[in-house]
Structure 1
């Protein structure tokens, strides 16, 4: 790269980085930071079904809440919609591919006022090959559900953390 364009590129990059002065890490302060303390004050009630159990456990792990009501300031209500759909159907009606979908609608409720602070959705999906071994297909479906549950929980925690980071 010739010297003038290189100099111009470095000046532009420096100017762009200077504009990021208002940014700060979300989890600044580690476990004692504002966001971590706020997340630990979120209670997660039980969620129906196997996918609900998986999502709730992932949420409790990520929130650091322990799932109890001790010191809870918020309640996170989650409703799940789970689907397993056959795709890739052959002429003899044999399914060769499946799509597993997990969607969540969640509400963050302030326990003191009863107000809904956040009302949002999260979702993920995965494709699965259907093979001749029924055991392998069942194992793949279960693994996909576990992965989707963690992914949905991550999305939920991120949205909640962003909301709790902002002053109310």
Structure 2
């Protein structure tokens, strides 16, 4: 009797999900609308070490091809801040928060129209220890991780835009 109940629940759940209207983001694989849009994005230069990390993370995630002219351009402006908090009795910082914020614009290269203009951000906590080398290494590791997290957010938002606004053929 238990297997019959499980089967009924499975059929019920399948029918419910089938009618919800959800569709896969990357339908069509590499030939789908979203994948084609993402691969047609040129990532502009971004200043500084943070910019180099962010640009490489974006290029990895977009799968952008560097051949020919891109249909879209992604302009990114970064704001990287480290804030100390958690003060000891001798006025030294015990903890830091590194925040990486990216303001990004998706631009149609054919007419320079801004299609998407928004921000993405992430932050990480860093313990401040007595070894200056360890703190610098922790700050660098946090920046590398934050670059990946913010790049994921940017690509997700661009993919959602591409899904909702397929390019005219």
TM range (shorter): 0.7 to 0.9
**Aligned mates of 1:72, 1:153 — CA distance in 2:** 19
Return the offset for 1:125: 0.1
Return the offset for 1:133: 1.1
Structure 2 match to 1:77: 75
Gapped regions of structure 1 (runs ≥ 5): 1-5
Return the offset for 1:28: 2.1
Gapped regions of structure 2 (runs ≥ 5): 1-5
Q: How does 1:10-159 map to 2 (within 5 A)?
A: 13=13, 16-20=16-20, 22-66=21-65, 68=66, 70-159=68-157
TM-score, normalised by the number of residues in structure 2 = 0.87
Distance 1:128 1:9, change over 3 A: same
Question: Aligned residue pairs: how many?
Answer: 164
TM-score, normalised by the number of residues in structure 1 = 0.87
Say what the alpha-carbon RMSD is for the aligned residues: 2.2
Distance 1:37 1:10, change over 3 A: closer
